[in-house]
Amino acid sequence: MSRTAGSSGKKTLAAIREAGLDLIHERGFEAVSLRQLAARVSLQPGSLYNHIETKQDLLFDLIHNHMVTLLQSVDAALDGIEDPLAQLEAFIAFHLTYHIERKREVFIGSSELRSLDPKNRKKIVALRRTYEERLCDILERGAAKRLFKIDDIPVSAYAILAMLTGICTWYDAKGRIDRKTLIDIHTRLVLQGVLK
């Protein structure tokens, strides 16, 4: 039998992406072999190449896809909000929610930057910087309006992002803390740190 009934190219590629996210998140890009990936989606290793260009290409595809979605989503989340304080609250809620829901993508997107070849890495780093700029902008406008008191905007932005992103490492959807509480705690931590 040369093809599983009902399978199709699009579905197979989606399965490969999904398995790729899982495996790379668990073990790291270098530690995942295409054999393992193929086994996860019930293919022979060579058959992967009907759907991906190279292993490197799959990694780039996963990360790039994530970054583009992240940027679109943050813009959607901030759309129409004018007040910097409301924007910051929206950003925090968005960032946490997104990072909880896409733990794997987020984790891979930062921990596997170094597995990207230079050309691909450059593209991703640019997108990432664009995302960071969103927070910087909010802090700047809040500072300009004397709502926030911030010593150094880029450093503070990095610090806040590091704090908010940290949950990827430990948050467990089935754990003690529910999502809303988590957002409240972090919102309070950040706002107090930043408000005048």
Partner DNA sequence: CATGAATGAGCCTTCATTCAT
Partner DNA sequence: CATGAATGAAGGCTCATTCAT
| Residues of this chain that bind DNA (CB under 7 A) | 1-5, 7-10, 12, 32-36, 42-51, 54-56
From a second copy, DNA, none, interface partner of 43 (C-beta below 5 to 8 A by class): DNA
DSSP string, 107-146: HHHHHTGGGS-HHHHHHHHHHHHHHHHHHHHHHHHHHHTT
Residues 171-190 interacting with a second copy (rule: CB under 8 A): 177, 181-182, 184-186, 188-190
From DNA, a second copy, none, interface partner of 186 (C-beta below 5 to 8 A by class): a second copy
61 vs 89, beta carbon nearer DNA: 61
Binding map of a second copy across residues 127-166, x = CB under 8 A, - = no contact:
------------------------xx--xx-xxxxxx-xx
10 vs 196, beta carbon nearer DNA: 10
**Cα 148 from chain centre:** 27
From a second copy, DNA, none, interface partner of 177 (C-beta below 5 to 8 A by class): a second copy
Cβ 117 to DNA shortest distance, Å: 10
Q: What angle do CA 132, 171, 81 make, to 5 degrees?
A: 40
Smallest Cα–Cα separation from 148: which of 190, 92, 94, 96?
190
11 vs 145, beta carbon nearer DNA: 11
**Cα 43 from chain centre:** 28
Looking at 27-35, 54-62, 78-86, 137-145, which segment touches a second copy (CB under 8 A)? 27-35
Assess 97 for contact with a second copy (CB under 8 A): no
CB 77 within 8 A of CB 134: no
The Cβ-side half-sphere exposure at 12, using a 13 Å CA radius, reads: 18
Largest Cα span, the chain: 69
